[in-house]
Structure 1
Amino acid sequence: MNHLAHLFLSQSDLNLMVGNYIADHVKGKKINTFSPEIQQGILMHRGIDQFTDEHPIVQKSKERLYPKYRKYAAVLVDMFYDHVLAKNWANYSPIPLETFTQSVYRALLAKEPLFPKSAKLMFEHMTRFDWLFHYSTIEGMQKALNGLSRRATFVSRMEEANSDLQHDFILYEKEFEEFFPQLIEYANTWTKAYD
């Protein structure tokens, strides 16, 4: 899953949310430099990623993209699912998307001094360009895909993926709607264990 889903799934606790946000920027033993609560959020993020990557519904989404995007298919599915979540936000939260995203930015900003350098830089871009809210639009997705493509180590063609998203949107939406309730249930096992 991508940023919006991770933050949605960990919103019950600020430390879990911080851990979920910074997890991709924390490698190896560096996890031990954070409080136990933030470590739990990092582990939750990794658990969510593993659950997602191994899920048969997600595999179906990836298979559709694999012939064109190869190893970047998984990244694109994460992005596409965030787009579906943002577009259908009212199905999952009583709080409007814009209210949620602004609240998340404010909450994370209070903990920004704890972020690894790369997470700080990304957070600056995320808030300046309001990534989380703009995942709901095709234009916002195009900007995000352009950025991913620029940062990719190899030629990825991810900047072309918006056309795939639009062409097969109904399929991605259906797969997300089948998968996400299961992911919410999985994430709840982490939040309950944390309580």
Structure 2
Amino acid sequence: MNFLAHIFLSFNDEEISIGNFIADSIRGNRYGHFPERIQQGIVLHRAIDTFTDAHPTHKQSSKRLHPNQGHYSRVVVDVFYDHFLAKNWNRYSEVELEHFAAEFYSLLKSRYPILPEPTRHLMPYMIRDNWLYNYATVDGIDKVLNGLYRRTGSKSNMNKAVLDLQLHYDLFEAEFSLFFEDLIIFSREKFNSLNNP
């Protein structure tokens, strides 16, 4: 899953949210210097990724993209699914998405000294362009995918992925809805197990 889902699936725990957000910037087991709850957020992030990659519905979405996106298909699906989470946000949260995003940006700023360098580099762009909120629009997702395209050195087709989204929009949305219900259950169980080892 992409940023919005990982933050949402931290269940309003600030330290878990930070760990869940920065996990992709952490190599291997090099996170022992973080506070315990942030470490647990990193563990939760990795568990979510493992569950996601193995889930048959996520695989189905990825397979549809494979002819155009190749080995980037799973990354693109993660971005698509964040779009559908943002678009249908009120189905999952009582807090408005705009407020949720603003609160997380404030949290990030307050934890800046402990953030890994890749996260520090990403943060100003994320906040300036309000990624979390703008995931709710196709244009917002298109900008994210074009950013990822540039980060691959223009070696992917992610700059064209929004065409796949538009072509199969209802199918991707239905698959997201099925998948995300399972992911919420899994993530809640994993979150609870971290609280009660």
Q: Which residue of 2 aligns with 1:126?
A: 126
Q: Which residue of 1 aligns with 2:76?
A: 76
Q: Which residue of 1 aligns with 2:190?
A: 190
Q: Deviation digits for residues 64-103 of structure 1, max 9, x if unmatched?
A: 0011111100000000000011111111111111111111
Q: Which residue of 2 aligns with 1:66?
A: 66
How do 1:168-183 residues align onto structure 2 when only pairs under 5 Å count? 168-183=168-183
How do 1:20-169 residues align onto structure 2 when only pairs under 5 Å count? 20-153=20-153, 155-169=155-169
CA contact (8 A) 1:12 1:191 kept: no
Distance 1:154 1:124 in 2: 23
Deviation at 1:157, TM superposition (A): 1.0
In the superposition, the TM-score normalised over structure 2's length comes to: 0.96
In the superposition, the TM-score normalised over structure 1's length comes to: 0.97
Distance 2:47 2:153 in 1: 25
Q: Number of paired residues?
A: 195
Distance 1:170 1:102 in 2: 29
Please provide the CA RMSD for this pair. Answer: 1.1
Matched, 1:13 2:13: yes
Distance 2:167 2:73 in 1: 16
Aligned CA distance change for structure 1 residues 11 and 106 (closer, same or farther; 3 Å):
farther
CA contact (8 A) 1:84 1:136 kept: yes
Aligned CA distance change for structure 1 residues 105 and 11 (closer, same or farther; 3 Å):
farther
Greater mean alpha carbon deviation, residues 13-22 or residues 146-155: 146-155
Distance 1:112 1:171 in 2: 39
Distance 1:113 1:64 in 2: 41
Greater mean alpha carbon deviation, residues 58-67 or residues 137-146: 137-146
Q: Deviation digits for residues 113-162 of structure 1, max 9, x if unmatched?
A: 11111111111111111000011111111111110000015610100011
Query: Kindly, what percent of the aligned residue pairs are identical?
Result: 43
CA contact (8 A) 1:83 1:141 kept: yes
Distance 1:139 1:29 in 2: 37
- Secondary structure of 2:126's counterpart equals helix
- Secondary structure of 2:93's counterpart equals coil
In structure 2, the gaps of 5 or more residues are none
In structure 1, the gaps of 5 or more residues are none
